[in-house]
């Protein structure tokens, strides 16, 4: 049995291709159940996010495993989205473990150090366990990957700071004036505005107002954050009420003029206003910064904070790669010991059989107390004698020539009568 991975991600496939392969939780469970029912794969797991869809499996033969995975996806989507080509990648053996560990640590994300990917890996593992398709190898691999991801975040700054314009703008507002108990105005209802509203909602503001030209779109965002929707023609009223403004529309020109801000501030001279303009072209007239009590931050200042965060994260990459290396080696050591298990079990049984035969022969007429004493003594002796040989065999890589020779030597020396695949034969 060997590990197998077939997938696509943001580095290899276009957005349209990734969208076609994006799988819901229900679809993931359906594919896992189909793969389990077919019986070609011993274990399987699917990791599907907006930036990747990857199928991990344990199988005896790579070609058959690839065919089975492609057939499962084709049956679901109606076309072979994982056919050979530059849009996909196929890995096996130790390369699968290294890949998943890098994913869990945020090294393979579209945004370096992505803080969401660890939770997504955890969710994928939960679905595999729910479907009953995560066995011994995938259990250990996923536990190792999750441990590596937690280490990366605890021991390095790979996930520090904010790397989206929306989250960085909200963080800047929170650090400057605080958002808890504040009245927040979000102008726009597109992706950037929606994310700004969501991030702001996490800081427990008194209210979030969503102003947009199309009120229905504003209402959709407002429902998401339990806010209030309003049309753009009420913008001056909203500016009068707001403490913090995030503006992110797709308008071709400014929608918040200096005069609008001046009118709004005339009724609230003792309350400052922080305005963060996230739009290109700009939503807010530069003249707004000249109004007393108004602080205006543009996209350039916010982008500088994002660039600084990415620079900080990039500096952590070598340390995270070291963590990946350590955890990959630990997993590799475990898989090597697993592959040597038939020989280890046979060696232990061989010594136990001799121990029991000798106890029966020598202590035929001994008392129960003498028998128990001898049992304890001989068990300790066997454990001591086997300790180093068992360690050496666990360290063996059965896939290497040296590993094959070492395992074969152990079987020959002790006449174990067990082959590499674990099947017994007469010694």
pLDDT digits (tens, 9 = 90+) for 40-61: 999 999 999 988 999 999 999 9
Residue 319 inside a domain? The answer is no
Kindly state the helix (H) or strand (E) to which residue 176 belongs, with its residue range.
helix 165-176
DSSP structural state of residue 233: G
Both ends of the chain: CA-CA distance in Å?
26
Pair 103, 151 in one domain:
yes
Pair 190, 249 in one domain:
yes
Pair 344, 380 in one domain:
yes
Q: Rounded to an integer, what distance in angstroms lies between the CA atom of residue 296 and that of residue 281?
A: 15
Q: Is 297 helix (H, G, I), strand (E, B) or coil?
A: strand
Residue 343 burial class via C-beta count within 10 angstroms: exposed 0-12, middle 13-18, buried 19 and up: buried
User: Would you say residue 420 has pLDDT above 50?
Assistant: no
In the prediction, which pLDDT does 224 show?
95
Pair 23, 104 in one domain:
yes
Q: Which of 130, 160, 190 is the last residue of a domain?
A: 160
Nearest CA among 354, 322, 242 for reference residue 288: 242
Q: How many domains does the chain fold into?
A: 3
In the prediction, which pLDDT does 77 show?
95
Residue 320 inside a domain? The answer is no
Q: Is 105 a catalytic residue?
A: no
Nearest CA among 61, 56, 139 for reference residue 100: 56
CATH of the domain at 219: 3.40.50.720
Pair 14, 156 in one domain:
yes
In the prediction, which pLDDT does 147 show?
97
Pair 15, 110 in one domain:
yes
In the prediction, which pLDDT does 422 show?
46
Residue 6 inside a domain? The answer is yes
Residue 426 inside a domain? The answer is no
Kindly state the helix (H) or strand (E) to which residue 26 belongs, with its residue range.
helix 25-38
Q: Is 117 helix (H, G, I), strand (E, B) or coil?
A: helix
Pair 173, 110 in one domain:
no
Q: What is the pLDDT of residues 258-310, one digit of tens each?
A: 999 999 999 998 999 999 999 988 999 999 999 999 999 998 888 888 888 88
Pair 256, 398 in one domain:
no
Pair 179, 197 in one domain:
yes
In the prediction, which pLDDT does 399 show?
62
Q: 88 lies in which domain range?
A: 2-160
User: Would you say residue 426 has pLDDT above 60?
Assistant: no
Residue 72 inside a domain? The answer is yes
pTM of the model as a whole: 0.69
From the list 14, 15, 50, 427, the catalytic residue is 50
Residue 424 inside a domain? The answer is no
Residue 324 inside a domain? The answer is no
Nearest CA among 421, 401, 425 for reference residue 343: 421
Residue 209 inside a domain? The answer is yes
């Amino acid at each position: 049995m060997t590990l197998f991975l077939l997938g696509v991600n943001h580095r290899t496939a276009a957005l349209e291709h990734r969208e076609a392969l994006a799988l819901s939780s229900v679809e993931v469970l359906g594919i896992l159940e189909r793969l389990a029912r077919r019986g070609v794969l011993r274990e399987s797991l699917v990791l599907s996010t907006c930036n990747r869809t990857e199928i991990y499996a344990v199988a005896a033969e790579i070609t058959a495993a690839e065919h089975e995975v492609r057939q499962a996806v084709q049956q679901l989507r109606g076309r072979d989205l994982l056919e050979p080509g530059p849009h996909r990648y196929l890995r096996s053996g130790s390369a699968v473990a290294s890949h998943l560990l890098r994913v869990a640590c945020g090294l393979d994300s579209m945004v370096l150090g992505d803080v969401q990917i660890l939770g997504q890996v955890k969710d994928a593992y939960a679905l595999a366990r729910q479907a009953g398709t995560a066995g011994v190898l995938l259990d250990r691999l996923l536990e190792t990957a999750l441990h590596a991801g937690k280490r990366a975040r605890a021991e390095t700054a790979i996930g520090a700071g904010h790397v989206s314009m929306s989250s960085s703008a909200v963080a800047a507002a929170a650090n400057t004036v605080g958002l808890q108990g504040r009245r927040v105005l979000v102008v726009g209802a597109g992706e950037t505005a929606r994310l700004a509203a969501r991030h702001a909602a996490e800081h427990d503001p008194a209210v979030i107002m969503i102003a947009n030209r199309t009120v229905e779109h504003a209402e959709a965002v407002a429902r998401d954050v339990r806010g209030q929707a309003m049309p753009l023609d009420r913008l001056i009223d909203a500016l009068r009420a707001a403490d913090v403004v995030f503006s992110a529309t797709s308008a071709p020109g400014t929608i918040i003029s200096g005069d609008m801000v001046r009118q709004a501030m005339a009724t609230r001279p003792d309350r400052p206003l922080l305005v963060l303009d996230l739009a290109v072209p700009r939503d807010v007239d530069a003249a707004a910064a000249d109004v007393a009590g108004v602080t205006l931050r543009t996209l350039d200042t916010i982008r500088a904070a994002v660039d600084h965060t990415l620079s900080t994260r990039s500096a952590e990459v070598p340390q995270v790669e070291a963590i990946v290396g350590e955890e990959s080696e630990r997993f590799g050591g475990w898989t090597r010991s697993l592959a040597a298990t038939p020989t280890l079990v046979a060696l232990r049984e061989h010594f136990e059989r001799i121990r029991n035969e000798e106890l029966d022969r020598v202590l035929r007429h001994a008392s129960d107390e003498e028998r128990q004493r001898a049992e304890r003594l001989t068990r300790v002796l066997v454990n001591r004698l086997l300790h180093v040989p068992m360690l050496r065999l666990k360290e063996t890589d059965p896939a290497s020539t040296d590993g094959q020779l070492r395992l074969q030597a152990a079987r020959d020396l002790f006449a174990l009568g067990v082959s590499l695949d674990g099947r017994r034969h007469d010694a």
